[in-house]
Amino acid sequence: MPGAIDLHTHSSVSDGTETPGQLIRAAVASGLGTIAITDHDSTAGWHEAFTAATGTGLTVIPGMELSTNYGPASVHMLAYLFNPADATIITETARIRDGRLHRAERIVEKIARDYDLTWDDVLAQSIDGGTLGRPHIADALVAKGFVANRSAAFESILHWQGGYYEKYYAPSPLEGVRMIVAAGGVPVLAHPATHGRYRVIEERAVKELVDEGLFGLEIHHRDNTEDGKERLFELAAKFGLVVTGSSDYHGLGKPNRLAENTTSPEALEAIVAAGTGYTPFHG
């Protein structure tokens, strides 16, 4: 789809397998018009993405996928066009990344009781200063021949009920929305219906987030169930939320392909108009 808009992608700054530059070249090759780079809890890929997009005609929306914890559940929140130099953004994302690092160490310690896996094996799969996650442990398990690929690792050893799982520090969704809005950004709940209609975040919790500036819901995403999407459309209509769609591309790390789901030009326009912490980069 020429000129398509894909607002959720990952690079090797977090758990994508391509550098930000490679991600941008893949976006250009696939004919995208606009891409958001949304690494987990990091803005470290923005500049390389802008540089790679220069002269290509591609528009880059700088973004991030913020980790939040809602009780026992991990809730991902996309953030667009916020000021990356905002003090709270810097300290909170550093705290989350640090928490993820120690959590990954704890997971590896547990796995190492049963498998020949070392911390160095995991570090070898990630870049210095990147946001570490289970995908990097998965890649180490693949490299050691214990599983066939990332998905197989997530279905077995790395499954949250697989016996090795550990949680990590993250702010609440409410704190997340406040922090993004205070930095001039636009918060959109990422894939909020991966567990179906009846496990979508409750209406009064959504209302609380909306009251603090939640702007949209990522409804067109392969992990949202069909009945979950119906529920999300009801919530979007009720609270006047913008609807987005995206691939959640991770390079070779996931089957998700660029532009497999897309966002309308009208929704993008609304997001760009609302974001005051940074401007889109027109390459």
Tell which residue, 161, 167, 21, 182, has the closest CA to residue 107: 167
Q: Is 248 in the site for Zn ion (CB under 5 A)?
A: yes
**Who contacts 105 (Cβ-Cβ below 8 Å, separation ≥6)?**
119
Q: Determine the interface stretch with Zn ion among 156-164, 202-210, 243-251, 263-271 (rule: CB under 5 A).
A: 243-251
Provide, rounded to whole angstroms, the least separation between the CB of residue 265 and ligand AMP: 27
Q: Which is nearer to ligand AMP, 80 or 154 (CB)?
A: 154
Residue nearest to Fe ion (CB): 76
Helix runs in the chain, H state only? 20-29, 46-53, 87-112, 119-123, 134-143, 150-155, 173-182, 203-212, 226-239, 265-274
Provide, rounded to whole angstroms, the least separation between the CB of residue 202 and Zn ion: 23
Q: Is 218 in the site for Zn ion (CB under 5 A)?
A: no
What's the token pair of residue 112?
A: 């190492």
Q: Is 121 in the site for Zn ion (CB under 5 A)?
A: no
Provide, rounded to whole angstroms, the least separation between the CB of residue 204 and Zn ion: 26
Provide, rounded to whole angstroms, the least separation between the CB of residue 10 and Zn ion: 6
Work out what residue 254 binds among Fe ion, ligand AMP, Zn ion, none; the CB cut-off runs from 5 to 8 Å by kind.
ligand AMP
Interacting residues with Fe ion (CB under 5 A): 15, 76, 190
